[in-house]
A and B are shown apart, each in its own frame.
Chain A
Amino acid sequence: MKKSAFPYKLMAKESVTTLGGNQPSAKRRRVRVYPLLICLFLLVHPLALRAAFSPRTVLEDLYHRQGLGEGSFLLEIEAVTFDGTRQDQARIKVYLDESGSQLVTFEEPERMKDDCYLVVGYNTWILQAGMRRPLRISAQQKLFGQAGIAETVGIDYLNDYRIEESTETETEYQLQLVALDKRTAYQRAALWVGKEGGNIQRVRLLAINGQPIKELIYSNYRSINGHEVGEITVKNLLMEKDQQTTLKFLNIVEKQLPPAAFQPLMMNKAKQIIGTGSQE
């Protein structure tokens, strides 16, 4: 008789063949089956438990629900900076290319409308009003209060980091990440992902030696055109002052973007290139 991996099928065949047969023999066979079932249960249960929490799966789920990994997009973001006494506000547009390049332009305030900056790989350039040529700037530069370039255009926890450690509590998952490339702006990151909703609640960005640099608090999650995003409040942990910057997503649309818009030599023509070469 061909053995089946599924014990239920084996039992069913036995019950058909032994119908009206010797009762004591059937009882002994059922008794032998029970230990087998118990062993299988003990084997499968831990596996089932592990499948319920896979840190990689958690990151993949976050990545796909945000939905900015494939294609090109236009993100409209409002940045509000508070330094304890004064508040500043800016509205920016982030153009995300499918290759990962980012172009950031300003809509408000008026005095910044001619400013923009471009990120291509690990290269960052800035072009300000009155400048003929773009200048290379450091990726470490703080642009909106406490928010730097990396926080504004988004950190890719799935593809730029590996999971070093993960733990699970009753309400959340905690992931310790290490950057795959030493050129990444933040070499270590600690994520807290809520079980209810499956969204990031908090991120702590650290230096290679583990020193906390910034803390990102996520809140008010909502779906914008199928993209699940939340407000991000960025706090600088190196400074004692009450300074924070909040990034709020206003709109996300899929948008075809011409490659010329992501050329540093074309930065002062970026708005006209996007205006004529893109389609919504």
Chain B
Amino acid sequence: MSSGKIHKTTVRGGDCPHVNRSASRQVPLPLSVLCAPCARTGLPPAFAEHRLSRLTFLLLMLGLTFFFLPSPPAYAWEWPEMDFELSSVFSYLRFTDDYPFIKDHLTNEAVFEMKASGVFPKEDWYYALGIISTADASTSFFSGCAVQELMLNTVINADGEDYLYEVGKEDWEWGKSFSRTPTYPMPEGYFWGAQWTKTKERQHVIVGVATSTDQLLKKQAAPVESTSEAGALTAWLRSGGFLTASDYEFVFSYQSHAQDALTPACYNLGFDTSRDFLNGLAIHGSINLSHTPKTNEEDSARRVDCLVGGEYTLGAKVIVCEVLHQSDSADTSLVWAVNNYSAFFATWQWGVESLWNLSDGGRYFKLFLEYTALERFFPSLEVLLFTGSEKSKISSSPVDLLVSLELRAVL
């Protein structure tokens, strides 16, 4: 199975969102990605790119040195495991009639990803470092660089209980659904944080905290001279377990800024569950109650988000159907998908998915096709079509058709 990594395609012109294809191809594009300017990848300001370009180059050289060096010195740590991926992405963007001044065009972007992982010599702490660097073929060598992942973790067993300690920058997402889980409070992406997990037999307790130092939050805080700290702090407490053919989890979370620096804190209480009927059919559900306390400016508010879905396995194919309801935007969305991502020996990995916003009629369709027969080279094609009612949020995207051809090499 080829690995899916985050790739960023910049849609140029106007108020253009970044189309962020999730690391897991099984997660469809959420509506928020299509509607809002996206800075959640944490790319640095332009003035720092030059320095980061040098840093990236040095890290690449260091990584390649470790990779090709025949044997480590006796005093060195255990040799890290290195993974490199180089992709060239050709994207064709077709703009809607609302943007007549922007011509349909083709972009080409190179993405280089390096991941190093290993163990420290003492205390059995493991580390993982992931760096992603992009280059626009038409402009400069490097157009962006980011530390995608920097993780330290260790597992301790004591008296029949297992404890997992994690700290660093990671994607903390949880859930059992194909699309976004309502109980997960943060947006997509990697965030700095820490998490403690305790498992015993079939039960678990998880406590975590993360901070989203979103550039967007800082920009919005400045004009009104808000005294609140820029950056959202999210904390969560999860407790659950799994039974014979089902599982459940209660989630309590706190968000200091739910949407932006001006949004007051809110508390969430949620529940996730899934069940396998052992005949090919499995169902899952999730509900989240959000409460925003009363402030000087606004009254308290409550919100309910829920998701119900199911999947049916037919040989190597999986058919998924979900309904997601978000009370704050009064959106009810229907998501369906068919794919063969779990078929390890399939020559072609393919997937078709669609999201239909039942509230405003907006739709998008996605076709994904990847050739996996070669050992280290994986060409793939992705087609995204945004359609539906003109007043829909999906239709507010300046792009109505996006075709991407990716040539990915694993080094």
Which chain A residue shows the least CB distance to B278? A183
Those of A99-139 within 8 Å (CB) of chain B? 106, 109-112, 114-115, 120-124, 126, 128-133, 135-139
Task: Assess whether A265 is in contact with B204, with CB atoms less than 8 Å apart.
Answer: yes
Of the 9-residue stretches A49-57, A142-150, A164-172, A191-199, which lies at the interface with chain B?
A: A142-150
**Bound Cα distance from A145 to B274, whole angstroms:** 27
Give min CB distance, B44 to chain A, whole Å. Answer: 24
Task: Assess whether A132 is in contact with B280, with CB atoms less than 8 Å apart.
Answer: no
Of the 9-residue stretches A26-34, A222-230, A269-277, which lies at the interface with chain B?
A: A269-277
Task: Assess whether A138 is in contact with B157, with CB atoms less than 8 Å apart.
Answer: no
Count how many pairs of residues, one from A and one from B, have CB atoms less than 8 Å apart in the complex.
151
Q: Please pick, from A121, A129, A141, the residue contacting B1 in the complex, using a CB distance under 8 A.
A: A129
Mark interface residues in B1-37 (1 if CB within 8 Å of A CB, else 0): 1111100000000000000000111100000000000
Q: Kindly state whether residue A263 has any CB partner on chain B within 8 Å.
A: yes
Task: Assess whether A133 is in contact with B245, with CB atoms less than 8 Å apart.
Answer: no
Contacts of A273 in B (CB 8 A): 155
Assuming A111-B2, A114-B3, is B342 touching A126 (CB within 8 A)? yes
Give min CB distance, B174 to chain A, whole Å. Answer: 6
Q: Kindly state whether residue B247 has any CB partner on chain A within 8 Å.
A: yes
How many of A's residues come within 8 Å of B, CB to CB?
A: 48
Q: Kindly state whether residue A72 has any CB partner on chain B within 8 Å.
A: no
Task: Assess whether B282 is in contact with A138, with CB atoms less than 8 Å apart.
Answer: yes
Q: Kindly state whether residue B341 has any CB partner on chain A within 8 Å.
A: yes
Contacts of A133 in B (CB 8 A): 173-175
Q: Please pick, from A122, A126, A128, A272, the residue contacting B245 in the complex, using a CB distance under 8 A.
A: A122
Give min CB distance, B202 to chain A, whole Å. Answer: 8
Task: Assess whether B5 is in contact with A123, with CB atoms less than 8 Å apart.
Answer: no
Give min CB distance, A130 to chain B, whole Å. Answer: 4
Task: Assess whether B153 is in contact with A136, with CB atoms less than 8 Å apart.
Answer: no
Task: Assess whether B1 is in contact with A132, with CB atoms less than 8 Å apart.
Answer: no
Those of A67-95 within 8 Å (CB) of chain B? 81, 86, 88, 90
Contacts of A121 in B (CB 8 A): 244-245
**Bound Cα distance from A263 to B3, whole angstroms:** 22
Task: Assess whether A259 is in contact with B160, with CB atoms less than 8 Å apart.
Answer: yes
**Bound Cα distance from A192 to B263, whole angstroms:** 69
Assuming A138-B282, A259-B157, A260-B199, is B244 touching A131 (CB within 8 A)? no
Which chain A residue shows the least CB distance to B153? A269
Give min CB distance, A86 to chain B, whole Å. Answer: 7
Which chain A residue shows the least CB distance to B117? A272
Task: Assess whether A141 is in contact with B164, with CB atoms less than 8 Å apart.
Answer: no
Which chain B residue shows the least CB distance to A106? B344
Task: Assess whether A130 is in contact with B344, with CB atoms less than 8 Å apart.
Answer: no
Q: Kindly state whether residue B326 has any CB partner on chain A within 8 Å.
A: no
Assuming A138-B313, A140-B279, is B23 touching A132 (CB within 8 A)? yes
Give min CB distance, A146 to chain B, whole Å. Answer: 10
Give min CB distance, B367 to chain A, whole Å. Answer: 19
Which chain B residue shows the least CB distance to A145? B345
Q: Kindly state whether residue B229 has any CB partner on chain A within 8 Å.
A: no
Q: Please pick, from B23, B26, B171, B242, the residue contacting A120 in the complex, using a CB distance under 8 A.
A: B242
Which chain A residues have a beta carbon within 8 Å of chain B's beta carbons?
81, 86, 88, 90, 106, 109-112, 114-115, 120-124, 126, 128-133, 135-145, 183, 185, 258-260, 263-266, 269, 272-273, 276-277
| Contacts A128-B1, A265-B206 supplied; 11 other A-B pairs, CB < 8 Å | A121-B244, A123-B244, A123-B246, A129-B4, A131-B26, A133-B175, A137-B318, A138-B282, A141-B316, A141-B318, A258-B157
Which chain B residues have a beta carbon within 8 Å of chain A's beta carbons?
1-5, 23-26, 119, 124, 126, 153, 155, 157, 160, 162, 164, 170-176, 197, 199, 201-202, 204, 206, 242, 244-247, 274, 276, 278-282, 284, 311, 313, 315-316, 318, 341-345, 347, 372-373, 375-376, 378, 410
